[in-house]
Structure 1
Amino acid sequence: MKHVLQKAWRRFRARDGNATIEFVMWFPLFLTLFLTSFELSIYGMRSMMLERAVDLNVRGMRLGNKRPNTVDEFKLNVCNETILLGDCLREISVDVRRIDTTSWALPTDAIGCVDRTQDYKDPENVEYGPGGSGDLLLIRVCVNKSPFFGTTPWVMGLPRDPSGGVSIVALSTYVNEP
């Protein structure tokens, strides 16, 4: 028994494996940093692509080249101009509202995003109206996307919806030309 205890004591005091302990302590931190930076770059590229698609469509509406009559036509136009959004037509919601230029009252409610927990149900508080001649219109577009890594939204402090997705929002305004 004494021999077993001496052997165990020697093994306990040995310095073999010190690098393993440091690796176990530091590797999760560096891996989290790497994965968070990767997720943030994907989130930024998706956001930039959505902003670009909305801006291209709003520019076409300003110039009179593109005048979508329905919200589905506008969604299709935006989704055709972007990449990195996957199933864009199911996950996009569009809100177009006329802004009263006498009071300049902007909408105070948050843009409604697609509810993915209820089979991609469109939000109820959105409007779509092409407006009349000389009207100032505010366009709000929301796309709900799942993050690549489940822990990233907590690390980055991003708000998540009940389905676990993160909202990407783009805003733009334009005036209908007569």
Structure 2
Amino acid sequence: MNRLFARLRRRASNESGSAGVEFVLALPIIFSIFMASAESGLLMMRLIMLQRATDMTMRDLRLGNFSDPNAQILKKEICDKGVILGDCESRIMVELQPVSSDSWAMPATATQCSDRDESLDPPPFVLGSDKEIMLVRVCLIMDPIFPTTGIGLSLQRDKGGYALIAASAFVNEPQQNTPGT
């Protein structure tokens, strides 16, 4: 019996393999941090590109670069200008509506995002008149890279994706009636 206890004591005092245990314990934490960093970095890049594409498209709209603007044209332009947004035309909603300059009341409803399973009523799309303040809200549903870990779990999701929202406001310029036109 003493020989058995002596052998067990020798094995317990042996430190070979202790680095392997530390590695196995630390690896999931390090991978979780890596995946959360990658997810949040891509989320921020997509949001910045959506905001940039929305601003550039609204600038083109203000300058009159679209002959007959509608929601589909604006969706296509935003998706074309948003370099890393991928195939976004089926997952994007564009809402354009005037803001009253008397009450300055913003829309009471939340920005409408697309639902992947149901067809929703399209959001308001009103081009407005001269000197009218216009509010545009764009919502895009994107899929997380790592949906079951880190930041992917904590994102508010709509049918598996998270919503990126960009908003902009501008004033419709008065139409110029130039001689000869």
Could you say whether these structures have the same fold, taking a TM-score greater than 0.5 normalized by the shorter chain as the test?
A: yes
Q: Give, in whole Å, the separation in 2 of the partners of 1:2 and 1:87.
A: 72
Deviation above 6 Å: which 4+ runs of structure 1? 1-6
Which TM-score applies when normalising by structure 2?
A: 0.84
1:135 alignment partner, one of 121, 132, 136: 132
Q: Can you list the C-alpha shifts for 1:80-110, whole angstroms capped at 9, x where unaligned? A: 1112112111011111111011001101321
Q: Give, in whole Å, the separation in 2 of the partners of 1:28 and 1:67.
A: 55
Q: Which deviates the most, 6-15 or 38-47? A: 6-15
Mark the CA change 1:159 to 1:13 in structure 2 (over 3 Å): closer, same or farther.
same
Q: Give, in whole Å, the separation in 1 of the partners of 2:78 and 2:169.
A: 15
Q: What's the CA shift for 1:45? A: 1.0
Unaligned 5+ runs, structure 2: 175-181
Aligned to 1:27: 27
Paired residues, what number?
173
Aligned to 1:115: 115
Q: Give, in whole Å, the separation in 1 of the partners of 2:11 and 2:67.
A: 78
Aligned to 2:43: 43
Query: Does the 8 A contact of 1:57 with 1:66 survive in 2?
Result: no
Q: Which has the higher helix share?
A: 1
Mark the CA change 1:67 to 1:53 in structure 2 (over 3 Å): closer, same or farther.
farther
CA RMSD of aligned residues (A): 2.2
Which structure has the larger Rg over C-alpha atoms?
A: 2
Q: Give, in whole Å, the separation in 2 of the partners of 1:110 and 1:25.
A: 44
Which TM-score applies when normalising by structure 1?
A: 0.86
1:18 aligns with 2:18: yes
